[in-house]
Amino acid sequence: MKNEVQMKGKFHYRLSGWKYSTALRVILFLLLGLIFYTSLYAKLVPQVYDIQLGTKSEKTIYAPRQIENAVATEQAKEDAAKRVQPVYRIVNLKNDIMLDAIFDKLLQINSDEEVKFDDKVSIFRTVIPQMLSDLQSQAIKSLSISGQYNDPLLEQIQKGLAEQSYPLPEEAYFKLPRLTKEDLADMRPVAKDIVGKLMNDQVLDAQTARAKVAELVNTSKLTKTLSREMVTEIARTLITPNKFFDQKGTDDAKGQARENTKPIYINKNDVLVKAGDVITEEIYARLDKLELLKDKANHLPQLGLGILAALLSFVVFMFVKQSKLQLAYNNTQLLMLVLIYVINILGMKIISIIQNVEYPYVGYLAPAAMGSILIAILLDAPLAFISSVIFSLMSSIIFNTEHEQLFDFKYGLVTLVICFSAVFTIQRASQRATILKAGFMIAFFSMLTITSILLMEDHFEQREVLFSLAFAAAGGIITVVFVIGLLPFFETAFGILSPLKLVELSNPNHPLLRKLLTETPGTYHHSVMVGNLSEAAAESIGADGLLCRVGSYYHDIGKTRRPSYFIENQTNIENPHDRIDPNLSKSIIIAHPRDGVEMLKDFKMPKAIRDIAEQHHGTTLLHYFYHKAKKLVEEDNSDKPVREEDFRYPGPKAQSKEAAIVGIADSVEAAVRSLRNPTLEQIDSMVTKIIKSRLDDGQFNECDLTLKELDIIAKTLNETLLGIFHSRIEYPSEVAPKKNE
């Protein structure tokens, strides 16, 4: 019967099948990958619609991301090109050189008295036009050689000179031979002054400039009528256009205007087509460019997103697999991890809904560090760091509004910094006030990182700075609010004992601890001592020291039901066990773990604390009462057998390292206090005997304590026991067990 009870207890404390199920673990990791996929789908894979050209749209379609409006941009470019004024080039054709050449020729021929008048007329009619043509050709050739003028412009110059030329009138050729040397000397400076003055202006229409010649001649110092007439005609001949239309320059200017025109964008969530609108070629092309057409959908982004989601899930899987956490085999905690991911990603997605191109910095409001804090408190700090990297990667995608690249490093960097700072702050948290401190750290480092980014970009606006910093500060506060609100839910729903919860339970003002102190002060003091011993021993082998300490405070709470039957509470009173049968004493003593569990359940204490209270004695033997019962049977010469099984605790045996350590510390503290003036050798011997006795008795068979860890525990207990003194009865030399615990 006893063996049957022990077997039931053993299997009762084994995790149920679904918690160990490999298939369920695979499903949970696949679910995590699906969460990554669905949360990023809207950002990386555009929605498609079954739309045909020329039909009416059945629904209003919004732009999934910012896209250039090609038609509007092209129209803006054309408008900019039309606003470009024609480009003209001012050309120096060296008209002053032509003028000197003509006067030199007139002086040469008129000075030659051997040439007859008619011959002079004939020479001037032939030579002067040819001379002007040659000089203009030479000027154009020099322009071409300089390389500053393109061929179309040179052709335009030749054409302009030809179309706007002014040949000397026929009667002028008969008047030129009559000019004397003195006349020519008076005429040259006047003509040069008039031509130079008119050619200094931009001359597009030579005829307009030539109309001013007569007035300038009349205001000159020339007095002879002939001289005036000839200066007028020669000046008109030498006045040519010097401003020419540059087709290539104009085309280049228009091209530059087109290039300088900023693209016109259709912003995210702008209406592409309203319900009932006819799908025109322009709308159809726009939908096609956005990959919104079902018949032309590109499935490569879906494949890429699937690979990315699988990689992120694989990273979490490999870290969990190689960790030594309960998460590596406990599907309950894995489910909690998945739920934390869901909540954190959901928080980011909600903020992204109110984010737009005009207010992109709303993304800094997201409680992106909430998941990292919860993981650090409830599970493991290294896992929180790995999750922080994943959250930052997802943040850079979810809050990306520009869509020029897949990731916006600004949001990813800010998320990474605040998550890391939060985990560093919270990983050793012992009070809930630490969460508030983490919120301030999130706000501070978020603002600091944003400031760094804005300074490096060096083109920020005051409005952008103020809003970014304000949203960053608010994000820290929102994160704290959510963490404080969600933490009790996870602690209760998943039976997680966070360090913060354990510290709260260790408060001496807790009703159970106050009851223990007031009704059983000896047991209270014993529990505190056991807590100190077990915490040191647990930390020495990497177990949960805080859980051991708090569990020790409550492990003997069942003694408050019958406090006077436990020796540490028997102050100036008779020991009631001296007057009753050892079987009754045994029943009272072994009832205190069960009574303690019932009391802890009534106060809704976490299961880990209840397990320590129930398992700290395991199935150990009550040596004192067992030997007392045997002695009474021998004295009465009775044939009634005294079975050892009847004097053992009902168990179960310790199922965790923490429960086993508390059990060792409980026995050691009680045994050492039974010694008078204990020495180091006595303590060492006592600790070794107790651990060996429990090991030989199979009390560690159902937990994962190793021999090496037991040796470390023994050394740690020896180092912390010398200062403990408490009056206890001497135990039989067999093991020195407790009399009535």
pLDDT of residue 294: 67
Token couple for 84: 């470009």
Q: Where are the alpha helices (DSSP H) in 399-520?
A: 409-426, 433-457, 462-493, 499-505, 511-519
Least confident of 175-184, 425-434, 516-525: 425-434
pLDDT of residue 664: 94
Distance (Å, rounded) from C-alpha 661 to C-alpha 664?
5
**Sorting pLDDT into bands at 50, 70 and 90, what band is 432?**
low
Q: Is the peptide bond before 652 cis (omega within 30 degrees of 0)?
A: yes
| pLDDT tens for each residue of 284-313 | 777 777 666 766 666 788 899 999 999 999
Most confident range, picked from 103-107, 311-315, 621-625: 311-315
pLDDT of residue 737: 46
Neighbours of 50 (CB within 10 A): 9
Token couple for 57: 């749209």
Token couple for 541: 């082998």
pLDDT of residue 34: 95
Region 535-551 average pLDDT: 90
| pLDDT tens for each residue of 602-617 | 988 888 899 999 999 9
Distance (Å, rounded) from C-alpha 498 to C-alpha 219?
108
pLDDT of residue 13: 40
Neighbours of 276 (CB within 10 A): 10
Most confident range, picked from 119-123, 424-428, 551-555, 561-565: 551-555
Pick the residue with more confidence: 92 or 315? 315
Q: Given the DSSP bridges, would you call strands 243-245 and 88-90 parallel, antiparallel or unpaired?
A: antiparallel
pLDDT of residue 221: 87
Region 706-732 average pLDDT: 73
pLDDT of residue 723: 56
Token couple for 242: 């010097």
pLDDT of residue 10: 42
How far is residue 24 from each of residues 186, 191, 316, 322, measured CA to CA in Å?
Answer: 115, 107, 16, 18
Region 232-243 average pLDDT: 88
Q: Using the predicted structure, report yes or no on whether residue 730 has a pLDDT greater than 50.
A: no
Q: Using the predicted structure, report yes or no on whether residue 220 has a pLDDT greater than 90.
A: no
Bridge partners of residue 278, in order along the sequence: 56
| pLDDT tens for each residue of 39-89 | 998 888 767 777 777 778 777 776 766 777 777 888 888 998 899 898 888
Neighbours of 48 (CB within 10 A): 17
| Average pLDDT value for the chain | 84
| pLDDT tens for each residue of 335-345 | 999 999 999 99
Dihedral of the alpha carbons of 151, 156, 158, 160, in degrees to the nearest 10 = -170
Give 142's contacts (C-beta < 8 A, 6+ positions apart). Answer: none
Most confident range, picked from 211-215, 418-422, 434-438: 418-422
Token couple for 572: 């100036």
Least confident of 1-5, 264-268, 351-355, 536-540: 1-5
Q: Are 613 and 547 in contact (CB under 8 A)?
A: no
* Triad 135, 137, 140: Cα angle to 5°: 110
| pLDDT tens for each residue of 666-699 | 999 888 877 777 778 888 888 999 999 999 999 9
pLDDT of residue 414: 94
| pLDDT tens for each residue of 348-366 | 999 988 887 677 888 899 9
Q: Using the predicted structure, report yes or no on whether residue 734 has a pLDDT greater than 50.
A: no
Most confident range, picked from 400-404, 428-432, 472-476, 504-508: 472-476
**Sorting pLDDT into bands at 50, 70 and 90, what band is 569?**
low
Least confident of 20-29, 271-280, 286-295: 286-295
Distance (Å, rounded) from C-alpha 643 to C-alpha 2?
11
Percentage of residues in the chain having pLDDT higher than 90? 28
Domains within the chain, CATH numbers bracketed = 8-42+300-496 (1.10.1760.20), 57-69+267-296 (no CATH), 88-245 (no CATH), 506-721 (1.10.3210)
| pLDDT tens for each residue of 141-173 | 887 787 777 888 888 888 888 888 888 888 988
Q: Are 195 and 99 in contact (CB under 8 A)?
A: yes
Site of tokens 């019958």: 562
Q: Is 63 exposed, middle or buried (0-12, 13-18, 19+ CB in 10 A)?
A: buried
pLDDT of residue 297: 60
How far is residue 518 from each of residues 513, 529, 550, measured CA to CA in Å?
Answer: 9, 17, 18
Region 450-469 average pLDDT: 84
Distance (Å, rounded) from C-alpha 59 to C-alpha 78?
33
pLDDT of residue 71: 78
Count CA within 13 A, CB hemisphere, residue 660.
25
Interhelix angle 22-44/331-353, nearest 10 degrees: 10
pLDDT of residue 733: 47
